């Protein structure tokens, strides 16, 4: 009987200590605030030239109440009519080469101004409507997203220089 009483007292003491220690622990405040994306360029319905060697002018401002961890740029075609589930090509068009871009960048700042020309659209990319998505994640895992519709165009300007003279006779 003494053994039972001693075991009961020991068990109750352990439970009391466990309750005391767990009730004294303070939980860290949970960050639920999503980062803010201010996408300045390209603009909604912006026209981007295929094959532009300088690359796409990309500019935005990022901010968070704690810390912006990273952002990702995703560009994919919209040939299937606004569905993000498939990347279907136009049937029968074997020359179709949709442009895609998908890259993640580290930030690790509370506020950041981003400006670069990393997005290069190759000369053989298919013109048309595309989606440009920017995802931003903070240190706590909160994510924001901004979507733009852009159009890729062939460069049809008359700025192409030819290295020959049309007035000379050819032998």
Q: Is the peptide bond before 42 cis (omega within 30 degrees of 0)?
A: yes
Domain boundaries, the chain: 36-153
> What mean pLDDT is predicted for residues 59-69?
97
What is the percentage of the chain residues whose pLDDT exceeds 70? 66
What's the start-to-end Cα distance of the chain, in Å?
Answer: 122
β-pairing verdict for 128-138 and 58-77: antiparallel
Token pair, residue 100, equals 């895609």
Which is nearest to 48 in space by CA: 117, 135, 113, 147?
117
Determine the pLDDT at residue 94: 52
Whether the predicted pLDDT of 14 surpasses 90: no
pLDDT tens digit string along 97-133?
Answer: 899 999 999 999 999 999 999 999 999 999 999 999 9
Q: Looking at domain 36-153, does it have CATH number 3.30.70.940?
A: no
Which is nearest to 105 in space by CA: 120, 91, 115?
115
Verdict on whether the full-model pTM lies above 0.95: no
């Amino acid at each position: 009987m003494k053994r039972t009483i001693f075991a009961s007292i020991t068990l109750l003491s352990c439970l009391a200590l466990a309750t005391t220690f767990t009730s004294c622990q303070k939980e860290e405040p949970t960050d639920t605030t999503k980062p803010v994306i201010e996408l300045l360029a390209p603009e909604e319905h912006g026209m981007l030239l295929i094959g532009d060697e300088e690359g796409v002018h990309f500019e935005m401002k990022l901010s968070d109440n704690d810390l912006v961890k990273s952002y990702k740029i995703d560009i994919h075609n919209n040939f299937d009519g606004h569905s993000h589930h498939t990347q279907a090509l136009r049937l029968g068009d074997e020359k179709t080469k949709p442009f895609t871009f998908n890259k993640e960048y580290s930030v690790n700042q509370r506020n950041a101004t981003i400006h670069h020309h990393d997005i290069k659209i190759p000369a053989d990319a298919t013109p048309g409507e595309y989606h440009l998505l920017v995802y931003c994640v903070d240190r706590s895992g909160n994510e924001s997203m901004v979507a733009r519709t852009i159009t890729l165009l062939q460069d049809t300007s008359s700025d192409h220089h030819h290295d020959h003279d049309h007035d000379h006779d050819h032998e």
